[in-house]
Structure 1
């Protein structure tokens, strides 16, 4: 077997297979709600991934897809922001990942998900999602093709819908500090 880890052709085939299985990505589809069908689709994707990573399992497959989609989403946001800014055609942002065009079938889906919200809860969620996407560096984009299934598990991020309150010191604590400083100053003056 040739080393397909960094082979664009393999990943194109993988993405095309993913596209052909809407039960894994098309949320509004009835197929997406069928857990058995979705599981079978992930098994097919995992079997494809095993061509380059014999230890791959369904969780590994889901991680790979999540990383690819996160990078696509980040690049799509940059493209859309560039288009909205009124930039000339020559100045519109060009995606830096080679597989951006391969994921164009997700464009309408991603635009719906990341559309402008009208509630604070949605804005909090979108801001958190954007921060997570931005945390993925271009190194991670290159490393996705070289990672193994021994990666550390992804920890879900909890989102609080309550605004963060700044911690304030109690007046008594401030008073104690002022008293101590005053006492120290007095003792220094006496010596």
Structure 2
């Protein structure tokens, strides 16, 4: 099968099947298990596309292409993070589907634990991406169980540059960590974030104060109600209620008068 014959839906199906067999991308495993995994993946693809005669060679070639493309895109993201410029957005439409490859051994170094296959992959700089984000397929439900484990975060990367300093007899390479430049855009975003956090803190303090005042008034109201329950005479109780309301209204008028001064 040529590259052009792999549709987005077929590629998505392949990725989901591939994800279910960690023995193909997590370290070295028994050759028998790997062959069985490829056989299962090939059978799964044939079940969905009975008109296409999938083979192990076609499957391994496509997987190798996807892994190479994913590694290239992920390296571009890391490079943009270290440069301090705007973060690179992957152009590979199935990039998020391949996140589980972050757990694969050797992917950081660009190595592959796939079986040797003859693939026509461009090795000059950027890898040719098959499709773009706009070509992403519509969701579909495969007829097999998919293990939806959350992928781990990207492997930390430390950017160091060698600084050669000669001594009396021989040269010694000393590694110094290079400071990452911060763009103006990121500085502006950090300042905005700081202002948002400051305003949020002030708001929380006000809410806390209001909540405290409400609690005090509620406690007093409950205490007053409990005391009034001890008065069994309705006439005396009505007079007390009237006096309390009169005091509250008088206090509110005095408060408004002071606010208007």
Normalising by structure 2, we get a TM-score of: 0.39
Contact 1:14 1:49 in 2 (8 A): yes
Check 1:73–1:110 CA distance in 2 against 1; reply closer, same or farther (3 A cut). Answer: farther
Partner of 1:13: 13
Contact 1:72 1:100 in 2 (8 A): yes
Partner of 2:87: 92
Partner of 1:82: 80
SS in 2 for 1:74: helix
Return the offset for 1:107: 2.0
Please show how residues 52-131 of structure 1 align to structure 2 within 5 Å. 52=49, 54-87=52-85, 91-109=86-104, 113-114=108-109
Contact 1:74 1:133 in 2 (8 A): no
Check 1:70–1:92 CA distance in 2 against 1; reply closer, same or farther (3 A cut). Answer: same
Check 1:13–1:59 CA distance in 2 against 1; reply closer, same or farther (3 A cut). Answer: same
Q: Residue 34 of structure 2: which of 32, 38, 42 is its match? A: 38
Return the offset for 1:11: 2.8
What RMSD over aligned residues (CA atoms) do the two structures have, in Å?
2.8
Gaps of 5+ in 1: 116-130, 143-191
Give the ranges of 4+ consecutive aligned residues of structure 1 lying more than 4 Å apart after TM superposition: none
Distance 1:77 1:99 in 2: 16
Larger Rg: 2
Relative CO higher for 1 or 2, CA cutoff 8 Å, sep ≥ 6? 1
Gaps of 5+ in 2: 111-121, 132-261
